[in-house]
Structure 1
Amino acid sequence: MLTLIPTIIVLGALIFFHEFGHFIVAKLSGIKVNEFSMGFGPQILKIKGKETDYFIRLLPLGGYVKMEGEDAATSDPRAFNNKPPLTRLAVILAGPLMNFLIAAILLSAISFSSGIATTQVTVIPGEPAAEAGIRDGDVIYAVDGIKVNSWEDVVDRISNRPKEQVEITVSRNNTLITYNVTAKEDPDTKRGIIGIKTVVVKHSLSRSLQFGIQKTFWITKMILVGLAQMLTGKAAVDVVGPVGIFQIVEEAAKNGIFQVMYIAALISINLGLFNIFPIPALDGGRCVFIILEILRGRPIDLEKEGFIHFIGFVILMIFMIIVLFKDISKLDLIKWIK
């Protein structure tokens, strides 16, 4: 039960902020919100507000915001479907966008505390970089004529060139200087090294925020690339459900709070991306119908739209059950029983 707590906290927090995104934009847009619920199933707690009822339910693997007129016609001017299309689009997209924002905040907080690896370097005496003329405090500007944006870029480009000459351009006193450095081969990893170390900057708010945003975009890009590779058969299909997430968070919890925060950021980005896919019953599917309404100049019949979302929901539930059984089949049941 103790190992289950971090998972419930992580998933609960991410779902809360996702639904809060819908909720706050709906409220700001003057839409009547009847219910804000965390979880599914039987209610554990209910708080009755002036206009909105707030629920905590038994199953912490989801949540929802129930708006007036969201799935049925009504004459209430504050109903969701009686608002302009762009207003409804903003309400729907607010949930996934909140997930990306939370990921950026988490990654910024990690970098603020643990530090950011910069492209400013210190050199190891007697190693190729020092022998070529690179000095402590130099900032790596480009590798082989290609500008670098992060320490990871520097490492990737040099590590792929063992025993080869690498062109390193550094910035020193606002002057760009280029050196030709022959990379050594690391005896353990077989990757190229030139004897430089990054200068880590800690407790810089501006740099941490910039890093958090850049890292969020980078992770999003990598997820989309991986998805494209799975769809084209270039990579094995690997999808995890709640049980798989539980195992991942459990392992992360063993390595400290920062690892849990990083995993939470990854899950949040995945949650945001998954929800904007144009699949019925998801936020992206609802956006498709709003965009069609804008293009057609008139709304889609609510009953037809509701039926399509229902079919999408059933398919998603079947998919979730398949993923759940897949996750369970990977469990070491003997370990869990012990």
Structure 2
Amino acid sequence: MNTFISIILIFGLLIFIHELGHLIFAKRAGILCREFAIGFGPKMFSFVKNETKYTIRLLPIGGFVRMAGEDPEMINIKAGYEVGLVFNDQGHVKELVINNKSKHPEAHIIQVEKVDLEHQLFVRGYLDGEEECRTFKIDEKALLIYDEQHTQIAPYDRQFSSKTIGQRALAIFAGPAMNFVLAAVLLMVYGLLAGMPTDEAKVGDLTDDGVAIAAGLQPEDEIIAIDGQTVESWQDMTAIIQSHPNEPLNFEIARGTQTFEQEIVPADRVGPGEVEEGYIGVYPPTEHSLTGAIAFGFTQTYEFTKLIFEALGMLVTGQFSLDHLSGPVGIYSYTGEAAEMGYLVLIQWAAALSINLGIINLLPLPALDGGRLTFIGLEAVRGKPIDPEKEGVVHFIGFAMLMLLMLVVTWNDINKFFL
């Protein structure tokens, strides 16, 4: 249950922040955002605020911001249709009722001759059996009512495609960027709670199951030398320990005014997604400060990012196989392990996942934010946009390939954890 709650909270936060980035910058550009959704599938909860419907859907495996103009409008009014018109106090059309007009007795029926819902915003036709063809102005926030579902019209200047290349790119880039911001904030919180490690060759805290506590080490013990090698920093100490896994090492230790020696054999530790060699179960000494936590958040975000890019490079060059990748099943399992290690480890794990989500979304692959940014870049180079139908086909194929990859890594996870 702790694992399930942890995964829901972590992924809910990661998805929410990612989609919030898209939403904020899309709205700043003046784009009509029809829906802000967490999850996919059937709606479980929704409400409307400031033109946008906020929904929580059944399957918590992603999210989206539906911007006007990204997809073809679902409702198309053609000449000859009979449509109900509801007027506001200024005499402008505020609602167009497509069917079920009997449920809207206030609506005036018009046989449409021509309608423009994007540019000039008007409807022309014969109202309530009149012989004269009349033209009515449509309010820029008018609603289309189809099967009692209300959809706000999207004038062209409110659509995604009407915005500048910079505005569109920023609205797309803001999602992954917010994941990096979230990671930095989480690591700042970690730094404030746990303290920022210093580079002193001293014992900070000890794990309950490590070989160091079993050997009698205590907090504030200073490591002077290991196997005769002088130790001047935490980095020196860990380098020696990790290079001699499962080998007995002679530690020279200063405790207060006393100096003594102790033999310790570094062990292996199984962590989320990896086996750490040369582990004795000690944490570095720490210090607490707000400025230090802020710096720690940014530097650790950079280090995590660099490690992930190195792993991607190894995947491309074949040094890293698909068997090492994990999907939802693996992430669920690793999150459970992180949750068992305590909330501090869980915060670090959430930060790492957030960075992963940001990087993966920025890859120039169809159906991902990076793929959409690639098409915007091509438009900037060509001076004109790619045919929307062709772009849609590329994204569809890319999405299908991503689903196939997801099936492969999920099968690997099942073999790894259950078979």
TM-score (norm 2): 0.63
State the partner residue of 1:106.
Answer: 186
Q: Note if 1:246 corresponds to 2:332.
A: yes
Aligned counterparts of 2:71 and 2:237: Cα–Cα separation in 1: 52
Instruction: State the SS of the aligned residue for 2:198.
Output: strand
Sort the Cα spacing of 1:132 and 1:289 in 2 relative to 1 into closer, same or farther, 3 A: closer
- After superposition, give the CA deviation of every residue in 1:43-94 in whole Å (9 maximum; x if it has no partner): 1011122411111100001100000112349651011111000111101110
Q: What is the alpha-carbon distance in structure 1 between the residues aligned to residue 328 and residue 285 of structure 2?
A: 39
- Judged with a 3 Å threshold, the aligned counterparts in structure 2 of structure 1 residues 79 and 332 are, in CA distance, closer, same or farther, namely same
CA distance in 1, matches of 2:160, 2:197: 46
1:125–1:256: structure 2 CA closer, same or farther, 3 Å change rule? Answer: closer
Name 2:4's counterpart in structure 1.
4
Q: For residues 243 and 50 of structure 2, what CA distance do their matches in structure 1 show?
A: 65
Is contact 1:119-1:154 (8 Å) kept?
no
Instruction: Specify every segment of 5 or more residues in structure 2 that has no aligned partner in the other structure, as ranges.
Output: 74-117, 120-155, 203-219, 245-260, 268-276
Q: How far is 1:326 from its partner?
A: 2.0
1:157, 1:18 → 2: CA distance? Answer: 37
**Counterpart check, 1:272 vs 2:358:** yes
Q: How does 1:207-218 map to 2 (within 5 A)?
A: 207-218=292-303
Aligned residues: 291
Alpha-carbon distance, 1:154 to partner: 4.5
Secondary structure class of the residue paired with 2:384: coil
1:330 to 1:20, Cα distance in 2 relative to 1, 3 A: same
SS at 1:3 equivalent? helix
Q: Distance in 2 between matches of 1:242 and 1:314?
A: 17
If asked which structure has higher relative contact order (CA below 8 Å, sep 6+), I would say 1
- Greater Cα radius of gyration, structure 1 or 2: 2
Deviates more, 1:284-293 or 1:49-58: 49-58
Matched, 1:93 2:178: no
CA gap of 1:66–1:155, structure 2 versus 1, over 3 A, is farther
Determine the C-alpha separation between the residues in 1 that align with 2:414 and 2:284: 42
Q: In structure 2, the residue corresponding to 1:298 is in which secondary structure?
A: coil
CA distance, structure 1, for counterparts of residue 389 and residue 183 of structure 2:
36
1:274-293, Cα deviation, whole Å (9 max, x unpaired):
00000001000000010111
- 1:72 touches 1:302 (CA, 8 Å); kept in 2? no
Please state which structure has a larger fraction of its residues in helix.
1
| C-alpha contact (below 8 Å) 1:71/1:306 kept by paired residues | no
Distance 1:30 1:154, change over 3 A: farther
Tell me which protein shows more strand as a share of its residues: 2
Residues 1:188 and 2:265 are matched in the alignment: yes
Q: Does 2:103 correspond to 1:17?
A: no
Counterpart secondary structure, 2:325: coil
Q: Which runs of 5+ in 1 are unaligned?
A: 141-150, 163-183, 334-338
Q: 1:145: which partner in 2?
A: none
Residue correspondence of structure 1 range 158-177 to structure 2 within 5 A: none
The aligned runs of 1:1-338 (5 Å cut-off) are: 1-72=1-72, 75=119, 76-120=156-200, 127-128=224-225, 153-155=235-237, 188-189=265-266, 199-202=285-288, 204-237=289-322, 238-332=324-418
Instruction: Quickly say closer, same or farther: Cα 1:185–1:71, change in 2 above 3 A.
Output: farther
Give the direction of change, closer, same or farther, for the CA distance of 1:229–1:285 in structure 2 (3 Å limit): same
For 1:98 and 1:78, locate their aligned partners in 2 and report how far apart those are by CA, in whole Å.
24
Report if the CA contact (8 A) 2:44-2:57 is conserved: yes
Secondary structure of the residue aligned to 1:22 is helix
- Under a length normalisation based on structure 1, what TM-score does the superposition of the two structures give? 0.78
- CA spacing shift, 1:283–1:132, aligned 2, 3 Å: closer
* 2-structure distance, mates of 1:117, 1:302: 51
CA contact (8 A) 1:71 1:302 kept: no
CA distance in 1 between counterparts of 2:193 and 2:367 reads 39
Q: CA deviation at 1:322?
A: 1.9
Give the partner amino acid of 2:55: F
SS of the equivalent of 2:56 reads strand
Pair 1:313–1:186, CA change in 2 (3 A): farther
Q: Secondary structure at the match of 2:157?
A: coil
Q: 2:364, 2:32 → 1: CA distance?
A: 26
